Amino acid sequence: MSTPTTPIKRRKLSDDVQDRLLEIIRGPDYAPGDLLPSERELMRAYSVGRPAIREAMQNLARMGLIEIRHGERPKVAEPSLNKTVDQLGDTMRHLLRHSPADLAHLKEARIVFEIQMARIAAEKRHPDDISKLVQIVDKQEQSSSESDLFLECDGAFHRAIAEISGNPIFSSLSEAMFGWLAHFHIDLVRKPGLEKLTIKEHRDIIEAIADRDEVRAAKAMTDHLNRANALYHRSHDDFSDQSE
């Protein structure tokens, strides 16, 4: 029998401290908002130096599990879906920028998600929801010459549709996916003529949702997103041709 030759990685002290702190956070004695032991208390309890404690704490803070404020003891973080999604932002944008396959998969997933959001919105919509959507698109139309604001309104429009579901997870997912993909669409909204088409498609979606027509809402959303993706690919191909 052969002996495995993969070397065993030496763990850092901060890794062990982090594991201990995770046990504390996940245990029954600590709840969100509770203060954790001080650095000095942890140094004595674990017989390690301040650098190991601080590195472990910083790792847990980056994970969104604890909150650290200058001059105060760290505390267990309040759970927040939006904060967790925000923490994924830079990682996801890095992944999508360097992995065309993952970018294509996310675009496909977003289409399926947005179609279902349109269906649910058509089923559950309230008159106030329709008014909100109209206000967003009116603002978007007024900002046609300001690409950043136009794109911001675009995200607000899709997020508002997801909010009609009444499920906060859908709202967070909508905002997250739009944020992750925004970089890859921002050049499209700067092209003359596309603003008017986007506005028209948004109003078609609103009309279908207002009429409680789930099938038409789903189709309008499908046409809108497929058109945007097709334009993205065409724009990307044109850029590639010019670069060669």
Domains within the chain, CATH numbers bracketed? 13-76 (1.10.10.10), 82-243 (1.20.120.530)
- Looking at residue 5, its pLDDT comes to 67
- Looking at residue 54, its pLDDT comes to 94
Q: Does residue 87 or residue 19 have the better pLDDT?
A: 19
Residue 162 pLDDT exceeds 70: yes
Q: Does residue 28 or residue 119 have the better pLDDT?
A: 119
| Average pLDDT rounded to a whole number, residues 46-73 | 91
Residue 85 pLDDT exceeds 90: no
Residue 126 pLDDT exceeds 60: yes
Give the predicted TM-score (pTM) of the model.
0.71
As a whole-number percent, the residues of the chain with pLDDT over 90 amount to: 55
Query: Do the beta carbons of residue 114 and residue 158 sit within 8 Å?
Result: yes
| Average pLDDT rounded to a whole number, residues 155-174 | 95
At residue 137's C-alpha, the angle toward residues 133 and 140, to 5°, is 145
Binning pLDDT at 50, 70 and 90, where does residue 244 land?
very low
